[in-house]
């Protein structure tokens, strides 16, 4: 794997996929190695197949959604009976590091990542019982840590200061918003969850989370009341969990699932699968804001393309919501940048 190293620091729980992890000296580490041959034979988890087939139910998306999505991105009409296969034979060669592995998300995330046939070694790190923080060297960074709208600009500034920023390899993980949008729409419309795909754009907090319900695959119609109810529920779903847990933390298992999905998508892209799409919060020129979440195509070098077409033809409700989120997202981005600029520069 090409190794343009970026130096980053962990803020809370961060999953780093496809990494060369060389310098994790200070934090407590646990290393798990797999016998990949046996492992592939018995794998029965997130993608239960010996080869990762984009058209099979082993994908996070169902086969019909995959086909529909491919058509919408590539504009290539496919006959009903014509199946286009994109196989990736997992090499089971990727090392994945979970930072913050002792936490509420880190523990189930590690268990889920361990199930991926693309992962041959899992490195778990946490500062629990460790006296000093440390720097690590990785080839891609996947911050989960809130507030994502600010922590991604913070990570970008820090990486810039170190001279190793590659905007194509820094992702704010907003997959949980997509997972929630898919779940709530499937429940409301009695659809199979695996078939539903709702793009979610903007950021990852309150009104900056904007599900584009009009772009739902498969095509579904919603009443104005349904749009309002679903949008608000998706935007407040994190708060709903925080309140339900009554002081005992925020979403953990659903976030672990969402992060595992994003990690697996990243690994599939690194492994050469040319059909990997996820929503993520990245440096973007899709709007006037320097960071923005949208659907992206993942490739071997990180962000391969930003799918701007989904911002075309928005409903009036979505267009208004998009304009309304911009000032809040802008302010969060500026807070992140200002936070780094106030810190003394360290070597």
Ligand X SMILES: O=C([O-])CC(=O)C(=O)O
Q: Which residues does the annotation mark as catalytic?
A: 204
CB of 174 vs ligand X, minimal distance in Å: 9
Residue 49, phi then psi, degrees to nearest 5: -155, 155
What gap in Å lies between CA 240 and CA 236, rounded to an integer? 6
The strand pairing partners of 52, in sequence order, are 88
CB of 162 vs ligand NAI, minimal distance in Å: 16
Q: Applying CB under 6 A, which residues contact ligand X?
A: 146, 176, 238, 241-242, 250-251
Residue 262 binds which of ligand NAI, ligand X, none (CB < 5-8 A, kind-dependent): none
H helical segments located in the chain: 36-42, 63-74, 106-114, 148-161, 175-189, 224-245, 253-270, 316-342
Residue 202 binds which of ligand NAI, ligand X, none (CB < 5-8 A, kind-dependent): none
Return the SS3 of 9: coil
CB of 113 vs ligand X, minimal distance in Å: 19
CB of 291 vs ligand X, minimal distance in Å: 16
Q: Applying CB under 6 A, which residues contact ligand NAI?
A: 10, 12-13, 27, 99-100, 102-106, 125-128, 133, 144-146, 148, 173, 176, 204, 249-252, 255
The strand pairing partners of 143, in sequence order, are 14
Q: Which of 232, 231, 205 is nearest to 216 (CA)?
A: 231
Beta-carbon count within 10 A of 31 CB: 11
What gap in Å lies between CA 122 and CA 124, rounded to an integer? 6
Question: Computed over its alpha carbons, how large is the radius of gyration of the chain?
Answer: 20
Residue 97 binds which of ligand NAI, ligand X, none (CB < 5-8 A, kind-dependent): none
Residue 336 binds which of ligand NAI, ligand X, none (CB < 5-8 A, kind-dependent): none
């Amino acid at each position: 794997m090409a190794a343009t190293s970026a130096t980053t620091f962990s803020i809370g729980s961060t999953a780093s996929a496809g990494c060369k992890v060389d310098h994790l000296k200070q934090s407590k580490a646990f290393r798990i190695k797999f016998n990949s041959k046996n492992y592939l034979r018995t794998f029965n988890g997130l993608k239960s197949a010996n080869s990762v087939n984009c058209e099979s139910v082993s994908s996070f998306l169902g086969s019909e959604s995959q086909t529909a999505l491919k058509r919408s991105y590539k504009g290539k009409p496919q006959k009903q009976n014509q199946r286009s296969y994109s196989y990736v034979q997992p090499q089971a060669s990727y090392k994945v590091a979970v930072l913050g592995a002792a936490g509420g998300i880190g523990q189930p995330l590690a268990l889920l990542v361990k199930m991926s046939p693309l992962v041959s070694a899992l490195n778990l790190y946490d500062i629990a019982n460790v006296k000093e923080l440390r720097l690590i060297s990785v080839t891609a960074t996947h911050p989960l840590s809130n507030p994502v709208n600010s922590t991604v600009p913070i990570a970008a500034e820090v990486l810039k200061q170190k001279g190793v920023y590659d905007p194509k390899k820094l992702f704010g993980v907003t997959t949980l918003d997509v997972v929630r949008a898919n779940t709530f729409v499937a429940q409301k419309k009695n659809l199979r969850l695996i078939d539903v795909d709702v793009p979610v754009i903007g950021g990852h907090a309150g009104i900056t989370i904007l599900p584009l319900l009009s772009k739902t695959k498969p095509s579904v119609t919603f009443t104005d009341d349904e749009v309002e109810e679903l949008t608000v529920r998706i935007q407040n779903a994190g708060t709903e969990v925080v309140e339900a847990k009554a002081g005992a933390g925020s979403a953990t298992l659903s976030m672990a699932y969402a992060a595992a999905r994003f990690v697996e998508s990243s690994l599939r892209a690194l492994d050469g699968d040319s059909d990997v799409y996820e929503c993520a919060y990245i440096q973007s020129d899709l709007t006037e804001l320097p960071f923005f979440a949208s659907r992206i195509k993942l490739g071997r070098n990180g962000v391969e393309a930003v799918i701007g077409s989904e911002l075309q033809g928005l409903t009036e409700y979505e267009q208004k919501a998009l304009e309304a989120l911009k000032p809040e997202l802008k302010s969060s981005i500026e807070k992140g940048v200002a936070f780094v600029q106030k810190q003394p520069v360290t070597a």
